[in-house]
A and B are shown apart, each in its own frame.
Chain A
Amino acid sequence: MVAPIYIITIPLGIAFLIGVLGKSNKNIGGMFMLIALACMSFVSAQWFISFMTSTQSPVYIYTAGFKPPFSINLLMGLNEAFFTLIINIATLLGAIYLYNNLKKQGTNAMSVFLGFAMALNVMVMTRDIFNLYVFLEIASVATAGLIILEQGLKSTSAGFKYMIATGIISSILLIGIIFAYNYSGTLNIDGLIEANIGILKGGAIAIFLILIAIVLELKPFPANGWALDVYQGADSGIGAMISAASASASLYVLYKLFAIAGESWYPVIAVLGIITFIASNLFGLKQTNSKRLLGYSSIGQIGLLITVLGLSPYLGDKFEFIAVTLLISHYLAKAILFWISGIVKAENIKNWSNLRKKPLLVALFGTAVFLLLGFPPFPSFFGKWELVMQLANSGQFAWMTAILVGSFFEGIYLFRWFGYTLKLDNKELPEYKMKLNKIIPPAIFGVAAYILGYYSGTFVDAAKGLDYIPLLFIAFIALINFLPAWVKNSISLTGVILYIAVIFPEFDGDLLRQIFAAIFLGGAVLALFAGFYSKGKRSGFHVVTLAMFAGLAMLLKADNLLEIFYAWELMTIGSYFLLIRGKKSMPHGYSYMMFSLGGSYALIFGFALAFVSFGNLDLQSLSGITIYPTLAYSLMLLGFMTKTASFGLHIWLPGAHGEAVVDIHFMASAILLKAGVFGIILVLLGMGTEASYAKYILYTLGWIGAISALIGNIAASFQESAKRLLAWSSIGQLGYIVFGLALMSHLGWMAGIFYTATHFLYKGVLFLTIGGIALKLGTPYMYRMGGLIKKMPFSFIAVLIAIITLSGIPPLVGFAGKWLFYNAIISQGLYFQGIVVLFSGIVAFLYLFRLIYSVFLGQLKDEHRNVKELPLCLLIPIYILIIAIMIISARPDFILKPIGNYLLAYFPSGALNWNGTMASTGLGYWDGYWVMIIVGVMFTLLFGWLLILNSKSKKVKQFNMVYAGEKPFRPETTHMSYNMFSGYNKALGFFMMPGVTGFWNWMSDILHDTANYFRRIYSGNGQSYAIHIIAYIIIIYLIVF
């Protein structure tokens, strides 16, 4: 193996060599620089691999052959190998990225860059504290040199502020070092550890000065204005280096020096870190400059890592895993983000929509955002999970909360930014070029994020059961993104069907999962089939669709909480991208993500409490929560209810679904929402009804369901857009389901599960037909439609059957739900909740009539005279669903009996009695089969009679009708659709006041105003920043001593 000392000598030698080369040999110099960096990476990699794979022991390198304290020594152990490896790779790729900039500035710049890389390496490896100081200074000076690589007022003034700040910081460090020497008589870190000078007052101050200087190097809030200015002012390639390479090195230095400081310093450091994490993510909220925003995010992430370092006593043997996964995620994501910000050259985050011109950049940006926020399949997901679990295990709930709150703030601005990128108009924005050397580094890091994500999963026991085959399939689909939509559609469809064949037998004997699998995966097949309507490439659609369905399938397969969370987050990513595809869906996709993010943090908190109570992550742990059980169950329910869009958390749904196109609308409404239902079922099964808190939770949940039902249905009646009408209707229908589950009885659950299944069927029909029509006519507004029954008879029949089912009119199967509700409500005495639910069921007639009348009946518009029936690829899924509805309408016992048998295990009392096809409870009875027969026979007989009676009737033209003494000549004047239930609106419209939206907006305003007020401490004056630093030291000193 190559000796580690070469990591230092190679860059040193080459840097001098390049200096000698002079200005005329820039290309050769550049080549030398890259070769040097590659050699350094190679040496580190070699050591790292040998540490990982064999029992290589750490190696000390002594200068001049003396042993310390008479010489400086360096260490190459696993940690050093890892850190030098990531630093060298970052600097190598960074040099490739900056190649042209460096070349423009000449060979001196290249030498400086090499010096920068070398200094960071020595900082990591050295065991001598004065040597550390020296190389910290070299790194600072080199950084200051690199900041003005891109010459301009901004970079120069930022660089000067940087010099002032680092000047003070390193002086503090030096004073600390000399006092530490004074008390210990050595400069060697190991010697200092042995000397244990912390017990002396003076020694403690020395340690304080050293530590605080290193912390200040890591840019803690509020003494970090200089760093923000540097991030904003310097070239983004330099920003990437500071954020990825320098910060990693400084973090390791802090870690190294921790050994000197001793345990009493851990909490101090953790507090400093968390304040930085929360504050800088909060201030990021108001930031619009992309590089400065990245600076805020970068500082926040470093704050998180400092916190993790400070919390290490609580993290046990998972500390290293957590720290490494979080660090590597920050490192990859920040480097990617800075690098692409240099490519797109858009200062304002609203101009980042330019990124959309290159799909690869969008993919990288998305990767980085999800990587930063700890979504699967990235390393940070596992890191954050373990962090929360270990903190919970040590009872550190306040720390958990703080970390989750900070992450949420980060999510707010990252997703807003991402939304701008995906949706804002980019026509006016300037063209830009994507040079090869600028795209390779972020691309490599992007790929690495996925690979390392998989790799980190292998370290987590609970994640061993994860099924990566669907993800590989998705990756394959991503690779063939350039093919036309129908090819990808066919491949995806085949994949899903094969997967069903594999996965379905796994649920044998578990009816609940079978039903949900039928909804999720059967729905996937229908949705993909419907997807054949689209022409062109439909870039990215299949990847995200499959990601969502993979998440849903994993949710069902999950054996432990981690897998549930993994699946949940994966599904969230997929659905976010699906929902944001709509034309005007930027704000809605954003609010969807905000609620999802908040929901997942609530979930992980609840899961952590379950984990601590139970001791492991099995699904049974949900049933035995003993630590803050009320909080735990409430949080989990809240988390799952963000997906069922229950009252209070529903505001994202109407817009997001209303803007989605036909098949996405189907997936989002008929399928995705059921994931939340599945989650609620799991939680409620765990919670049971016995505990004292369960009563209150269930009572509240019941009201949430009932109010969702009412608000959803009333709001649906006042919508002008057919798609928004259906979206609100979904909120109402999910309200029924939540209400049914909250009843926690045999009948209630039967109704809940039954609604889950039938809602999929009839709402599926509605979404596909209405969505298809809206797509065909180019408008979702019902007052622009009308009279389409003559053009689309099959769609009309489908919608008719669907709305009869939805409204619960016998003989179709929707009635079963109403009947079950009546029986459950009366037998359980939940009258008033029940009345609200039943009332909202009747309100549903309003919007259903409006929907079918305004679209299909009334007057056909002139511009729709040539409209044709929906395409077969939509009609076939629609009629498959219709057939299913008709079958279970005729024989509701086919579905109710198995559900009843399944529920016997959980709710043995209050089951339905079956006498043939007649179901009865203690209260009432109902025979769906006979109702169907009676109504069928009667209808046929009467129909025959009417045929005879009306045989003479003649068909007339559209306008042949009595109309106040004259014949109308324009369809618009005779189609009554706009503001249809105005009278109802006058009487009950107050239900529609957007109070909930107002509440969330108010919350958001408060947050943003706070951020805006407090971020003004970053005045831009370099001297104020110096004062911040000094004040920071003094204040921390006063607090600590």
Chain B
Amino acid sequence: MDNIAIKLLFTLLGLFIVLNWGLIQAGIMNKIVARVGKRIGMPVYQPYFNLIKLYSKRTSITHGVMFYLGPLFRLSGGVGMFLFMPLIFGSEYWSNFSFAGDVVLILYFQFFGMLGMALGAGEGGHPYSAIGVSRGLSQWTTIELPLTLAIISIAIQYHSLSFTDIVAAQQGGITHWTMWTNPLATAAGMLAFLGTMGHSPFDLVKAPNEIPIGPPTEYHSTFLGVLRTNAAILHVVESVLFMNLFFGGATSWFELILKTFLIYFWSVFVGVVFPRFRIEQSVSWFLKVPLILGILAIIFI
């Protein structure tokens, strides 16, 4: 904190690393999914090409102010979460701006991007985007339930809502991780994680294959580029969130990359194995096993 400029530089550097890791990770995951399906798949660097292509498109249209601002909100949401998230435990400079708030802040800042995005897509005037948003919000409410329970369970366990304290308490080997000391909360949290990442079986919101649906329906060129950029950042930050909460945090960039990869892989793995839920199915699903796990996590803490 003594030198705000240095802190800013480190933060930007961190953002750069996270962005690139996010893009590479997306490439790797695509490859894995393709191989599971007995396909060759696209190259690992494809996400970079996609970004370059999107940013250099010649045509770009907008439906109005909110449409224009939607991706901005979305990106701010991703970047903001990154800013409030401490990355490397024990490092003053890699802790970003986490002094401004604790877990609760991150939890609610997630919605900043989602809301902006939803509104931007809404102004596009396309009914499919509104359908996507309504489904997404429905699903989110129930995802949050086990997640909240897990976080409260952890907060009770560590008597703190601060990332630094939570990660500090987990230092000293795998037996100190929340995963080990509070398996029920971890289970609830990791099931909720499946929902937050939006892979199958919870990808009805975006429905990537059959029909164009969901917020990105009307977005294209630079707007879509911004969204893709954000997706890369957000996937890593979400993984970092769960890493900090359940898997002992990270003391080095290597550890962070390894752990986030594995956490992310969990959602991809499930997505490859299971088919898609309808929206009422996924809403009810989160209110069954994950909710019960979350409640048990609080009872048996």
Contacts and interface: CB of A to CB of B under 8 A. Distances in A.
B141 interface: yes
A402 interface: no
A984 B148 CA distance: 20
Interface string A968-980: 0000001111001
Interface stretch (A160-168, A464-472, A751-759, A802-810): A802-810
A806 to B, nearest CB: 11
A133 interface: no
A887 interface: no
B105 A810 contact: yes
B80 A960 contact: no
A968 to B, nearest CB: 9
Given A831-B298, A842-B141, A987-B284, A981 B72 contact: no
B156 A826 contact: yes
Nearest to A834: B152
B60 to A, nearest CB: 4
B60 A952 contact: yes
Contacts of A800: 119
B155 A826 contact: yes
A212 to B, nearest CB: 67
A808 B104 CA distance: 11
Interface residues of A, number: 77
A987 B161 contact: no
B138 A810 contact: no
A624 B259 CA distance: 59
B105 A815 contact: yes
Q: Please indicate which of the listed interface residues B127, B131, B145, B225 has the most CB atoms of chain A within 10 Å of its own CB.
A: B127
A977 B112 CA distance: 22
A225 interface: no
Contacts of B28: none
Contact of B119 (A818, A857, A934, A953): A857
B221 to A, nearest CB: 8
A925 B127 contact: no
A945 B5 CA distance: 20
Given A938-B76, A952-B60, A961 B124 contact: yes
A233 B160 CA distance: 77
Contacts of A842: 140-141, 144-145
Interface string B80-119: 1001100000000000010111111100110110010011
A1039 interface: no
A962 interface: yes
Interface stretch (A46-54, A522-530, A845-853): A845-853
Contacts of B55: 949
B211 to A, nearest CB: 9
B193 to A, nearest CB: 16
Contacts of B280: 983-984, 986-987
A822 interface: yes
Contact of A949 (B112, B115, B131, B222): B222
Nearest to B75: A942
Contacts of B212: 962
Give chain B's interface secondary structure class: helix
B105 A819 contact: yes
Contact of A843 (B80, B105, B141): B141
Contacts of B156: 826, 831
A573 to B, nearest CB: 40
A942 B226 CA distance: 10
Contact of A925 (B63, B145, B162): B162
B35 interface: no
Contact of B99 (A930, A949, A953): A930
A790 interface: yes
A950 B278 contact: no
A157 B122 CA distance: 73
Interface in A828-848: 831-832, 834-835, 838-839, 842-843, 845-846
A938 B83 contact: yes
A787 B161 CA distance: 41
A926 B102 contact: yes
B155 A931 contact: no
B138 A822 contact: no
A451 B58 CA distance: 81
A829 to B, nearest CB: 8
Nearest to A787: B125
A942 B122 contact: no
Given A809-B111, A853-B122, A935-B80, A927 B283 contact: no
A471 B143 CA distance: 54
Contacts of B112: 809-810, 935
A939 B148 contact: no
B135 interface: yes
Nearest to A939: B76
A961 B122 CA distance: 13
Given A935-B76, A950-B223, A987-B284, A923 B105 contact: no
Interface string B261-300: 0000000000000000011100110010000000100100
Given A849-B118, A857-B66, A975-B127, A927 B100 contact: yes
B283 A924 contact: no
A925 B125 contact: no
A790 B140 CA distance: 29
Contact of B130 (A793, A819, A825, A853): A853
A796 B119 CA distance: 11
Interface string A919-959: 00011111100110011001100110010011011111011
A281 interface: no
Contact of A974 (B101, B126, B161, B223): B126
A987 B124 contact: no
B115 A835 contact: no
Contacts of A980: 130, 134
Given A923-B159, A927-B101, A962 B61 contact: no
Interface string A855-884: 011110000000000000000000000000
A1013 interface: no
A5 to B, nearest CB: 84
A927 B138 CA distance: 30
A881 to B, nearest CB: 20
A835 B135 CA distance: 22
Contacts of A850: 134
Contacts of B298: 831-832
A809 B110 CA distance: 8
Contacts of A938: 76, 79-80, 83
Given A954-B62, A983-B135, A924 B104 contact: yes
Contacts of A819: 101, 104-105
A983 B283 contact: yes
Nearest to B130: A976
A26 B283 CA distance: 85
Given A809-B108, A810-B109, A923-B160, A949 B126 contact: no
A947 to B, nearest CB: 9
B64 to A, nearest CB: 6
Contact of B137 (A846, A927, A953): A846
A988 interface: yes
A789 interface: yes
Nearest to A815: B108
A560 interface: no
Given A818-B104, A975-B125, A984-B279, 5 more contacts: A842-B141, A853-B133, A856-B66, A858-B123, A956-B63
16 contacts: A818-B104, A845-B140, A846-B134, A857-B119, A923-B159, A938-B76, A939-B72, A946-B71, A949-B225, A953-B61, A954-B60, A956-B62, A976-B128, A977-B130, A981-B138, A983-B278
**List of 10 A-B pairs having minimum Cβ-Cβ separation, nearest first:** A924-B161, A857-B122, A983-B279, A924-B102, A953-B60, A987-B283, A976-B130, A976-B127, A984-B138, A986-B280
Interface of B: 55, 58-66, 68, 71-72, 75-76, 79-80, 83-84, 97, 99-105, 108-109, 111-112, 115, 118-119, 122-128, 130-131, 133-135, 137-138, 140-141, 144-145, 148-149, 152, 155-156, 159-162, 212, 217-218, 221-223, 225-226, 278-280, 283-284, 287, 295, 298
